[in-house]
Each structure stands twice: as C-alpha cells, then as structure tokens.
Amino acid sequence: MSSSNAVKESAKKLVNLLEKYPKDRIPHLVSFKDIQIARFGRVAGLPNVDHEGNSIKQKKPSIDEIKSIINRTSGPLGLNKEMLTKIQNKIIDEKFTEESINEQFRALSCIMNNKFRNYYDVGDKLYKPAGNPHYYQRLIDAVDGKKKENLLTAMRTVLFGK
C-alpha cells in the first residue's frame, strides 16, 4: 500500500469515527465535528456533504465570469504581489502522514471513550460539595434547558446559595 493510499485509508477511518462523535449540546456557529469531517474528508478524497448527508456541489465559475474578473483587475484579483505573498505565507499547508492521522484517531477515541475521565475519577466530594450539593446539577439542568429559574428563585440562589 503506497503512503498516499495509507493516508487516505487512515483519514477515512478518522472520518468514520468523527461521524460517531456526539452532536454539540450547545449549538455554536461552527461545530468541531463538522469542521474536522470536512478537513479530513478532503484528505480521504470523500465528497463534500452537509449535516444531513446531502452532497454539496461547488459552483464553478463560467468562462464569462472568469473573463470579467480578469478584465476588471489590474493584478491577480486586484491584489498587489506583496499582499499575495503575505497571504500565501500565512496559509497553512497541511501535510498529513499516516502516523499523524492515526495519532489523532487514538486521541479522539480516548475522548469518546472517556478514558481520562474514568482514569482520574473524582468522587462525590467534588461533584456535590457540602456547602451547595445541587450546584452542578442546577448548571447541567440550565444548559440542557430542563429547569429554568425565574427571577425569585435566582435571587434566592444568589442571596442564600441554595
């Protein structure tokens, strides 16, 4: 197996594991899972797909659009050469090896299996402190949207710590 095929196979294996990665509990503008799937999907040679599994086709410019861009600009896309070199120097050229992708695969599988959470298990003494035993459960309920505090219960919590 050549090195490029080994890199592609390792990237496919990593993308399969990333697809099993749980969805973010709090929606963000950018999702770790989606970004990493797109990043390693390119390395694996997989087609671009959206979060629903539909193929994303990139629109290629027509000949007329390309001619219009060339005629409107004095330099390449209107940028001077110094700016283009600065941009090219800042662009990260990712060169993946089979070893680096397998290392990322092992790290992601450790995260998904809660290896370090189980290895460095802390007891109830930390999760339920004596002064306020329901503190962390209230935080988790607020993040999940299960239980919302109104103004009066929030004031009581602030004043009395319960």
Q: Where are the domains of the chain?
A: 3-120, 122-162
pLDDT of residue 139: 82
Higher-confidence position of 114 and 92: 114
61-103 pLDDT per residue, tens:
666 776 666 566 655 556 666 766 676 666 666 788 899 999 9
Side chain identity at residue 133, one-letter code: P
pLDDT of residue 62: 67
Q: Please report which confidence band the pLDDT of residue 110 belongs to, taking 50, 70 and 90 as the band edges.
A: very high
49 φ, ψ (degrees, to nearest 5): -130, 150
Q: Could you tell me the pTM of the whole model?
A: 0.58
115-129 pLDDT per residue, tens:
888 888 888 888 888
**Length of the chain, please?**
162
Please compute the mean of the pLDDT values over residues 44-55 and round it to a whole number.
71
Higher-confidence position of 55 and 142: 142
7-42 pLDDT per residue, tens:
899 999 999 999 999 888 777 888 888 888 888 888
